[in-house]
Amino acid sequence: KAGVTQTPRYLIKTRGQQVTLSCSPISGHRSVSWYQQTPGQGLQFLFEYFSETQRNKGNFPGRFSGRQFSNSRSEMNVSTLELGDSALYLCASSLGGGGQGYEQYFGPGTRLTVT
Amino acid sequence: GDSVTQMEGPVTLSEEAFLTINCTYTATGYPSLFWYVQYPGEGLQLLLKATKADDKGSNKGFEATYRKETTSFHLEKGSVQVSDSAVYFCALDRGGADGLTFGKGTHLIIQP
């Protein structure tokens, strides 16, 4: 099976712009989660989508949003970019949702740099 | 809230040495526990998991046992190789609004 894919792999944006990142989960996986990884804060949970519905959301401002399509592909959007949004954004897919012991499989990430 | 604590390192070992990376957690209930590994420039790879107390997860020579009494999930390997050099993350999943809760990661360096 193909793994989780994320596009683009690298992105450079300017403060104030918005950005959309894409994630294609493993075939058959219905849950997609997004995480932000920074040197200072480590790995932080952004949100989880299951069957096109946002099921869980981490402690991030409303500038961070996402959606999931009927084929389980997911996008996340960050509006009004700030310098602190520079990070590696990781997408993970799993068969089921959180708390049920399902393994989450991660993509290679999108490296976002905000200048 | 939930939290995971692990040594950050770097931890430097010689090839064929015994490896232990400590991980302790704070969570209510009975979370599932995971170890992930991240190689430079890549995403996270699931290394092993355990879903209930006394479960032992194992993969590629790595092992970890879910210890409820000490709230720990220490990672061990009997003989490390240079190719094991990476950052290792301990994580828990209790469900709810937090997704996976990760430790800060342990940078492991194996010298030939």
pLDDT tens per residue across span B70-82:
999 999 999 999 9
**In chain A, which residues have pLDDT < 70?**
1, 97-101
The pLDDT assigned to A55 comes to: 87
Task: Please tell me chain A's helix, strand, coil percentages from 3-state DSSP, rounded to the nearest 5.
Answer: 5, 50, 45
Check residue B86 and give its pLDDT.
97
Whether residue B97 is predicted with pLDDT greater than 80 in this model: the reply is no
The percent of residues in chain B predicted with pLDDT above 70, rounded, is 98
pLDDT at B99: 86
Of A5, A2, A20, A1, the C-alpha closest to A92 is A5
b/e B38-61 (16+ beta carbons within 10 angstroms → b) = beeeebbebbbbbbeeebebeeee
Residues of B (10-69) whose Cβ lies below 8 Å from A: 31-32, 34, 36, 42-46, 49, 51
Predicted pLDDT at A98 = 58
Residues of B in Cβ contact (< 8 Å) with A46: 99
Give the end-to-end CA distance of chain A in Å, rounded to a whole number: 37
Q: Do residues A111 and A12 make contact, with C-beta atoms less than 8 angstroms apart? A: no
Whether the CB-CB separation of B38 and B87 falls below 8 Å is answered with yes
How far are the Cα atoms of A60, B18, B58, B104 from residue B75, in angstroms, in the given order?
A: 31, 11, 9, 15
The answer to whether A105 faces chain B, any CB pair under 8 Å, is yes
Backbone dihedral angles phi then psi of residue B96, each to the nearest 5 degrees: 80, -150
pLDDT at B11: 96
Are residues A33 and B34, on separate chains, in Cβ contact within 8 Å? no
Residue in A35, A56, A103 nearest the CB of B49: A103
Q: What is the pLDDT of residues B24-63, one digit of tens each?
A: 999 988 899 999 999 988 899 999 999 999 999 999 999 9
A:B CB pairs within 8 Å: 71
* C-alpha separations of A61 from A65, B13, B66, B77, B110 in Å: 9, 41, 34, 40, 40
